Amino acid sequence: MKTNRLRIVLDTNVFLVSLAEQSPYSIIFDALLEGKFELTVHNEIITEYEEVIGKRYDKETVSDVLELILHLDNIYRQEVYYQWGLIPNDPDDNKFVDVCVASQSDYLVSNDKHFNILKTTRFPPVNLINAENFIQILSELS
């Protein structure tokens, strides 16, 4: 069920850089904790978050972050019933697109250039924005 909050899919790299308190992107993680938007996830996305966070942080931090995001009220778990295959240069990134389309998310937030192909893809429509633009949107919500 869609709410009035923005529904977002965060690419792993944006999620990762938002975790560090000193990062200019920490605003994104803070806004997630404050419930300013819904984060749409799938088991494959959660697994990738876990793997990538585990390369930068200790096991306890990884566990704490995952426990937190799995229990927030503004986390939306989406099943995917169709794989669009829109990212040929990095097929592993297709899971983010598929979840975005299936959940009718408002934005897919990524700084990864592989996603730029979505800017020229008419169907299915995916609103791709970078982290800086998403931070601007978040500032307008406050």
SS3 125: coil
| Strands of the 128-129 sheet, one edge to the other | 75-77, 37-41, 6-10, 107-109, 128-129
* pTM recorded for the entire structure: 0.90
pLDDT interval class at 125 (50, 70, 90): confident
Pair 129, 107: CB distance under 8 Å: yes
7-140: what CATH class?
Answer: alpha beta
Type of residue found at 81: Y
For the chain, what are the domain ranges?
A: 7-140
**Closest-CA residue to 108 (of 13, 2, 4):** 13
What tens digit of pLDDT does each residue of 93-113 get? 889 999 999 999 999 999 987
Q: How far is CA 19 from the centre of its chain?
A: 13
Beta-bridge partner residues of 9 = 108
User: 3-state SS of the chain: helix, strand, coil percent to 5?
Assistant: 55, 15, 35
Q: Is the dihedral of CA 57, 55, 18, 64 positive or negative?
A: negative
What tens digit of pLDDT does each residue of 54-90 get? 999 999 999 999 998 889 999 999 999 877 777 878 7
Q: What is the pLDDT of residue 117?
A: 65
